[in-house]
């Protein structure tokens, strides 16, 4: 049951988004996220929503996956909408008990929710079309200039890589430990919340101990294969910024310029 | 000068320094280039400790360990030593670093700073050598134990290692995986002349080697061809070790008065001798 968990939620494919360099994708994501906050006009939202939908369709990832990525935020979206609906002063169109729902609140709540949803959608576009490994690679490259101020870019990326590598291994191990405990009469599925949390301890303790042992052995194995940190290290798969990336950057710049003009014109 | 020279090597783990028992106690051993050596011994006999000296993961407390003329204590040659001697460990899961097979094989050459197109070539050659080319894009957790160990072997081969030290590589595998790994190692030894030091608890695997070294209490107590070692069934028993099944059957038959040659180690030899 635990082995069903997938991490990273990457969908392999060959779309333009898939072929882009992870660094370009990360940077453009940041630009678009900033744009969501800068262009807070109906015209700006329309343009960005259109872009998100167009990219989602072109990515070849099942569209239901994008909707599913919004699901964890469902409550926050609903809550935000209700707060704005009821707390914005203006023309009251509906009254219930002590709550005054205003037209202004309706539009404000709607746009705020749209803004949140767009943030999630654009991030999903990145994670769905980029393998976790090239994502960490991209992050390492982007963080590299920050090394001078003490950001351990290589170490962070190596930690991420190893963590991703060991997720399935540790999930399998958790499963084994749970079965071992169950075979000796442990009960994980009944009792109140507190009791259930207490039942996790006999799973977590052996899992932690074995993780430390694994870490120790892995460190020895890495040393045996000449690992000595990021200094002087080369990569088999070098990242290449290609035509797709320049095209995407150009298109984004054009879009932003157009939106800037629209905002200046008052749309 | 031999490829690997170990002279009067002593080693005590830091916490045991005051105690008298040392993990390695005046070990002398020399290995020629291209040899296939099996190392036998019960748990705690110092086999793994010895193996870890061969690529400078552990450094001698006293004595010398030289690999291809380089002293392992010489920090200037540390990475050369580790490139020359590759290690494969017991647990296949805890030595695979990357989430994709080919990336893991590339880990060693990447650390050595090899240019990327050259790495690609090393990786392809290494994967071909262990017969894992078809799995290069796989995630390691989808492979069987034997396949994972073959990936680990490829990881050392990609560094163009001259000597392969395998520390009980088959202890956690099923019989199919065990055969896979042993066959791969034997083929590499035969075809590319790589030096192999193979630590094992399986006597049938040791019988495949050219030379068998037996360790006990941190000392090398026997050193000879498989035939020399395995015909002394009583001595092996006393050390808590087995002999290959064929050697044991031949020994028992000889005790029953059936005339068989003393040097039977493999099943084929036993069959041939019995049919005569």
Tens digits of residue pLDDT in A225-256: 999 888 888 888 888 888 888 999 998 889 88
Write out the two tokens for B237: 């028993």
The DSSP element (H or E) to which B85 belongs, if any, is strand B85-88
Q: What is the mean pLDDT of chain A?
A: 85
Calpha distance A254→A26 (Å, rounded) = 18
Confidence of residue B32 (pLDDT cuts 50, 70, 90): very high
Q: What is the pTM of this model?
A: 0.82
Calpha distance A200→A205 (Å, rounded) = 9
- How far does the CA of residue A87 sit from the closest CA of chain B (Å)? 50
pLDDT digits (tens, 9 = 90+) for B83-116: 999 999 999 999 999 888 999 999 999 999 999 9
CA distances from B147 to B122, B173, B174 (A): 19, 10, 11
Do residues A135 and A29 lie in contact, with contact meaning Cβ atoms separated by under 8 Å? no
pLDDT at A80 over 70: yes
Nearest residue in B to A229, CA atom: B111
Calpha distance A114→B225 (Å, rounded) = 77
Q: Given this model, what pLDDT does residue B196 score? A: 95
Mean pLDDT of A87-95: 79
pLDDT digits (tens, 9 = 90+) for B223-244: 999 888 988 888 888 888 888 8
pLDDT at A99 over 80: no
Task: Extract long-range pairs of B118-122: CB within 8 Å, 24+ residues apart.
Answer: B119/A234, B119/A235, B119/A236, B119/B158, B120/A236, B122/B158, B122/B159, B122/B160
Do residues B155 and B92 lie in contact, with contact meaning Cβ atoms separated by under 8 Å? no
CB pairs under 8 A between A and B: 95
Mean pLDDT of B182-211: 93
- Domain count for chain B: 1
| Backbone phi and psi for residue B27, each to the nearest 5 degrees, phi listed first | -85, 130
Contact B159/A226, CB-based, under 8 Å?
yes
Nearest residue in B to A216, CA atom: B94
| Backbone phi and psi for residue A249, each to the nearest 5 degrees, phi listed first | -65, -45
Going by C-alpha positions, the residue among B150, B173, B175, B153 that lies closest to residue B165 is B153
Q: Given this model, what pLDDT does residue A1 score? A: 38
- How far does the CA of residue A164 sit from the closest CA of chain B (Å)? 7
Confidence of residue B190 (pLDDT cuts 50, 70, 90): very high
Q: Give the burial string for A193-232 (b: 16+ CB within 10 Å, else e).
A: eeeeeebeebbeeebeeeeeebeebbebbbbbbbbeebee
Mean pLDDT of A6-35: 84
Q: Which of B52, B86, B111 sits opposite A228 (nearest CB)?
A: B111
| Backbone phi and psi for residue A239, each to the nearest 5 degrees, phi listed first | -80, 140
pLDDT at A7 over 60: no
Calpha distance B91→A216 (Å, rounded) = 12
- Dihedral in degrees, nearest 10, Cα atoms B65, B66, B67, B71: 100
pLDDT digits (tens, 9 = 90+) for B124-148: 999 999 999 999 888 888 899 999 9
Write out the two tokens for B10: 């002593």
Pick the range with the lowest mean pLDDT from B10-19, B215-224, B228-237.
Answer: B10-19
Q: Given this model, what pLDDT does residue B274 score? A: 87
| Backbone phi and psi for residue B25, each to the nearest 5 degrees, phi listed first | -130, 100
pLDDT digits (tens, 9 = 90+) for A117-140: 999 889 888 888 888 778 888 888
B103 within a domain of the structure (yes/no): yes
CA distances from A159 to A99, A136, A164 (A): 50, 9, 9
Do residues A236 and B123 lie in contact, with contact meaning Cβ atoms separated by under 8 Å? yes
Domain of B113?
A: 4-243
Beta-sheet pairing, B219-224 with B211-216: antiparallel
Pick the range with the lowest mean pLDDT from A6-10, A64-68, A104-108, B22-26.
Answer: A6-10
pLDDT digits (tens, 9 = 90+) for A137-163: 888 888 888 888 888 888 888 888 888
Q: Which of B87, B89, B99 sits opposite A133 (nearest CB)?
A: B99
Mean pLDDT of B2-14: 90
Residues 6+ apart with CB under 8 A from A151: A143
Nearest residue in B to A223, CA atom: B57
CB < 8 Å to B123, chain A = 236
CB < 8 Å to B111, chain A = 225-228, 233
Write out the two tokens for A7: 């991490």
CB < 8 Å to B103, chain A = 133, 236-237
B258 within a domain of the structure (yes/no): no
Q: Given this model, what pLDDT does residue A84 score? A: 87
The residues facing B165 across adjacent strands are B87, B197
Domain range list for chain A: 10-130+239-267
Nearest residue in B to A238, CA atom: B116
pLDDT at B74 over 50: yes
Domain of residue B220, CATH code:
3.40.50.300
B266 within a domain of the structure (yes/no): no
- How far does the CA of residue B112 sit from the closest CA of chain A (Å)? 7
Q: Given this model, what pLDDT does residue A221 score? A: 93
Do residues B178 and B146 lie in contact, with contact meaning Cβ atoms separated by under 8 Å? yes
CB < 8 Å to A222, chain B = 97, 107
Percent of chain B at pLDDT > 70 equals: 98
Q: Given this model, what pLDDT does residue A213 score? A: 93
Calpha distance B267→B245 (Å, rounded) = 8
Q: Is residue B102 less than 8 Å (CB to CB) from chain A? A: yes
CB < 8 Å to A223, chain B = 57, 82
Contact B97/A223, CB-based, under 8 Å?
no
CB < 8 Å to A164, chain B = 99
Contact A236/B94, CB-based, under 8 Å?
no
Please classify residue B205 by burial: count the beta carbons closer than 10 Å to its beta carbon, then call 0-12 exposed, 13-18 middle and 19+ buried: buried
- How far does the CA of residue A97 sit from the closest CA of chain B (Å)? 57
Do residues B130 and B157 lie in contact, with contact meaning Cβ atoms separated by under 8 Å? yes
- How far does the CA of residue A218 sit from the closest CA of chain B (Å)? 5
Give B93-120 as a DSSP string: GGG--SSSHHHHHHHHHHHTT--HHHHH
Mean pLDDT of A107-111: 88
B274 within a domain of the structure (yes/no): no
- How far does the CA of residue A131 sit from the closest CA of chain B (Å)? 11
Q: Which of A169, A225, A236 sits opposite B120 (nearest CB)?
A: A236
């Amino acid at each position: 049951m635990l082995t069903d968990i997938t991490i990273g939620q990457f969908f392999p494919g060959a779309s333009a988004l898939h072929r882009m360099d992870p660094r370009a994708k990360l940077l453009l994501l940041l630009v678009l996220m900033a744009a969501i906050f800068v262009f807070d006009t109906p015209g700006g939202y329309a343009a960005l929503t259109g872009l998100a939908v167009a990219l989602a369709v072109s990515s070849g990832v099942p569209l239901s996956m994008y909707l599913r990525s919004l699901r964890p935020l469902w409550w926050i979206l609903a809550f935000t909408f209700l707060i704005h609906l009821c707390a914005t002063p203006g023309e009251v169109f509906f009254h219930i008990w002590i709550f005054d729902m205003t037209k202004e609140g309706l539009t404000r709540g709607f746009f705020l929710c749209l803004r949140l949803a767009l943030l999630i959608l654009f991030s999903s576009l990145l994670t769905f079309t980029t393998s976790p490994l090239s994502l960490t690679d991209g992050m390492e490259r982007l963080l590299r200039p920050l090394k001078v101020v003490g950001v351990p870019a290589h170490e962070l990326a190596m930690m991420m890589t190893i963590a991703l590598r060991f997720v399935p291994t540790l999930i399998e191990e958790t499963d084994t430990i749970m079965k071992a405990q169950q075979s000796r009469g442990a009960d994980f599925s009944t009792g109140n919340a507190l009791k259930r949390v207490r039942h996790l301890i006999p799973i977590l303790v052996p899992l932690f101990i074995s993780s430390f042992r694994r870490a120790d052995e892995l460190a020895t194995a890495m040393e045996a294969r000449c690992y000595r940190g990021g200094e002087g290290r080369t990569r088999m798969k070098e990242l290449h910024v290609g035509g797709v990336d320049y095209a995407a950057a150009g298109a984004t710049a054009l879009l932003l310029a157009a939106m800037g003009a629209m905002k200046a014109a008052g749309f | 000068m031999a490829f690997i020279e170990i002279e009067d090597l002593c080693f005590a783990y830091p916490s045991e320094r005051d105690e008298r028992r040392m993990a390695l106690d005046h070990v002398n051993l020399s290995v020629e280039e291209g040899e296939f050596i099996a190392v036998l011994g019960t748990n705690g006999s110092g086999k793994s400790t010895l193996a870890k000296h061969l690529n400078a993961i552990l450094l001698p407390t006293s004595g010398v360990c030289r690999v291809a003329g380089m002293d392992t204590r010489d920090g200037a040659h540390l990475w050369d030593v580790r490139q020359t001697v590759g290690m494969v460990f017991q647990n296949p899961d805890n030595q695979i670093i990357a989430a994709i097979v080919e990336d893991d094989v590339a880990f060693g050459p990447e650390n050595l700073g090899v240019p990327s197109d050259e790495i690609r070539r090393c990786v392809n050659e290494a994967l071909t050598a262990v017969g894992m080319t078809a799995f290069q894009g796989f995630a390691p957790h989808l492979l069987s134990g034997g396949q994972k160990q073959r990936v680990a072997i490829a990881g050392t081969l990609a560094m163009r290692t001259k000597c392969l030290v395998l520390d009980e590589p088959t202890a956690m595998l099923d019989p199919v995986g065990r055969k896979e790994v042993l066959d791969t190692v034997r083929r590499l030894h035969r075809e590319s002349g790589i030096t192999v030091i193979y630590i094992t608890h399986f006597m049938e695997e040791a019988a495949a080697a050219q030379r068998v070294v037996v360790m006990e209490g941190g000392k090398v107590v026997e050193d000879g061809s498989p035939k020399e070692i395995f015909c002394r069934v009583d001595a092996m028993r006393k050390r808590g070790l087995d002999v290959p099944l064929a050697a044991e059957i031949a020994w028992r038959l000889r005790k029953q008065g059936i005339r068989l040659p003393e040097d039977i180690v493999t099943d084929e030899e036993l069959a041939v001798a019995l049919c005569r």
